[in-house]
Amino acid sequence: MVYRLGMEKISTNKSFGGEQGVYIHTSSSTNTDMTFAVYVPPQAKERPVPVFWFLSGLTCTHENAMVKAGMQEHAARLGMIVVLPDTSPRGEGVADDPDGAYDFGLGAGFYVNATQQPFAAHYQMYSYVVDELPELIGREFNADMSRQGICGHSMGGHGALTIGLKNPGRFKSISAFSPIVSPTNCPWGQKALGGYLGDDQAEWVEHDACALVGKADEKLHLLIDQGTGDNFLEKELKSHLLTAACEKAGHPLTLRMQEGYDHSYFFISTFMRDHMEWHAKAF
């Protein structure tokens, strides 16, 4: 790893009148280089524009949503910056799942700050996404950081919900596609939270959307799309747990069960327009 002063451009492509860029910087949170993508709409030439965060799911990098989700069209029309962080630290010396499994380690940072070694050395994705990257975005782009929204898919839906709920006042809007709504209650989440945070489940519930809605003072209306044909719904995603938690807490939730849709980007791209318009309305 070379220590980089500030961010460096990897690539830019003109897209819908704006610019899709990929950048790299040295993160002091993860102590690694981190790559991320930013779409800047044409309106940002004239004025600061709101920021739409999209957190990706297991196995993804910044690239999946950048090429598959069809966000640029909507971002250009609605006038918003899109930020796509990576899903974990990467590079030399970054620990991975001991068996190389896809659901832990590389590509699976779960948006928490690990306390357990060897992961604690680099897996500080909560601080990276909540503190360090926003500071960089605010400094380097024509972003109106008083108007931010957050969204994500699967593990990234978990990230969007938990980061949104844990930072009242930060976001105008929160939404998710097929999120892991309760990592304390599913195999993916139990493995990740145990591995990164250790055995004390009091730490785990700090990163469980169902637990967090129970104590949220700011009751931002949540929008969630979930496909009924999603192979992970029953065992991992369990959206009904969030419905129950929101009902109990009096937290407003729109959960749309989308008939026949699966867990893929074909599902995400279909409903991305609705999500981005939902966020634009909140801005």
Q: Catalog residues that contact a second copy under the rule CB under 8 A.
A: 13-17, 20, 67-68, 70, 72-73, 227, 229, 260-262, 264-267, 269-270
Residue 244 CB, nearest distance to a second copy (Å)? 27
Query: Is 74 a catalytic site residue?
Result: no
CA distance 283 to 277: 10
Of 70 and 138, nearer to a second copy (C-beta) is 70
Of 26 and 59, nearer to a second copy (C-beta) is 59
CA distance 34 to 26: 6
Residues near 272 by beta carbon (within 8 Å), at least 6 away in sequence: 69, 70, 71, 74
Active-site position among 154, 173, 178, 239: 154
Residue 222 CB, nearest distance to a second copy (Å)? 23
Residue 106 CB, nearest distance to a second copy (Å)? 22
**C-alpha distances in Å from residue 159, one per residue of 3, 120, 168:** 28, 18, 15
CA angle 86, 167, 103 (to 5 degrees): 35
CA distance 280 to 283: 5
Of 80 and 114, nearer to a second copy (C-beta) is 80
Active-site position among 62, 158, 207, 263: 263
Active-site position among 103, 208, 225, 230: 230
Residue 34 CB, nearest distance to a second copy (Å)? 22
Query: Both ends of the chain: CA-CA distance in Å?
Result: 38
CA distance 3 to 5: 7
Query: Is 62 a catalytic site residue?
Result: no
Of 142 and 269, nearer to a second copy (C-beta) is 269
Residue 259 CB, nearest distance to a second copy (Å)? 8
| 244 φψ region: left (φ > 0), alpha (ψ -120 to 50), beta (else) | alpha
CA distance 116 to 130: 20
Query: Is 263 a catalytic site residue?
Result: yes
Of 105 and 227, nearer to a second copy (C-beta) is 227
DSSP, collapsed to helix, strand or coil, labels residue 29 as coil
What is the phi/psi pair of residue 264, to 5°? Answer: -90, 175
Q: Which residues have a catalytic role annotated?
A: 154, 230, 263
